[in-house]
A = this chain, B = another copy of it.
Amino acid sequence: MGSKQIILEFLSSADVKINGNRFFDIQVNDERFYDRIISQGTLGIGESYMDGWWDCKDLAEMMFRTLRAGGHATFSKTLVNLLHVIQAKLLNSQTRDRSKKVTDEHYDVGDDLYMALLGPYSQYTCAYFKDTDDLGRAQENKMDLICRKIQLKSTDRVLDIGCGWGGLAKWMAEKHGCNVTGINLAKGQVEYANKHISDPRVNILNMDYRDIPEKIEGKFDKIVSVGMLEHVGYKNHRIFMETIKKVLTPEGLLLLHCCARDISGTIVEPWIEKYIFPGAIVPSPTQLTKAFEGLFVLEDWHNIGAHYDPTLMAWMKNLDAAWPRFKEHYGERFYRMFRYYLLGCAGAFRARDMELWQTVYSHNGLVGGYNSVR
């Protein structure tokens, strides 16, 4: 069976047509598309989109349909993926040096673009669309949910591991009056946070999480890590948990908010690895539980993966609105890369091919029980 036939057959199982007239149908502009996908798998799908070989008006819905029909398994069995798996197994992709490479490449590029994309609070993580369809309100919901889950009090000393541009740290200090230390490996984000946050209760530091016990004195009553575990790597999950164990007060609470997948893997999808998050690998349930067994008691596990779909769709809308300002600087190929990233991921979360977990932990179980909220 030729490349085109294989792809058409698969697409028909997802009810997606080539050159059809529905928004989620694919318009092929270059017939080399079929061979490239068969030889390069999911990397080829993304790169051929960046090159303009195909288009799709409702890319998220197309991705949803094809993933729900089994696209992930179908197009992940290429040599490209296999090489990534071997590399991930042989190396530690998230050593100190490699971790710094990620932050330099992805997070240190274009604060102005991210600010336009993310909207108020500069939250580059999944929002919580409970009783709202507005991104800003949903990000407030998310930050409020985190504060309620960790039972935040004004007297708490808080640590935010991987604090981004400091939006959550600022929120916690302003709304709850607590002292928050944020750490982040991305120098640009740290500089931005220190420039824009004048609240003396917020302290943003440029450092690796592995250095916390040595470089920061004392313990924290509450520790949160929102959208950072994805960069820790499955080989380092345990040391991540052990590090937190050392600096959390005996009655303290830990909240982890992270993207995840239902099946254990050792690599992220190769296109995402190459263009968006080098070295990223999201945990599975077995990988996560193995990381905390014997260290922490699981108090709560909340799956809000479906909320990443509207989050990403809202970011895309923001990008489109702001694009005239950025067009000249970044160019068309960059736009197509970001569009494929945002809408492709929206479709993946819609298809439940990806998850988003908020998990809460205590050292030995809170006496009286933990009251989980939603």
Contacts and interface: CB of A to CB of B under 8 A. Distances in A.
B290 A369 contact: no
Given A298-B285, A300-B302, A372 B369 contact: no
Nearest to A350: B367
Interface in A344-369: 350-352, 355, 364-369
A297 interface: yes
Contact of A301 (B292, B298, B368, B374): B298
Contacts of A367: 68, 350-352
A283 B181 CA distance: 37
From A288, A300, A306, A369, residue with most partner B Cβ within 10 Å: A369
Interface in A278-313: 284-286, 288-290, 292-294, 297-307
Number of copies: 2
Given A262-B297, A300-B301, A352-B365, A286 B289 contact: yes
A366 B297 CA distance: 27
Interface residues of A, number: 38
A234 to B, nearest CB: 14
A293 B369 contact: no
Given A289-B285, A301-B298, A365 B372 contact: no
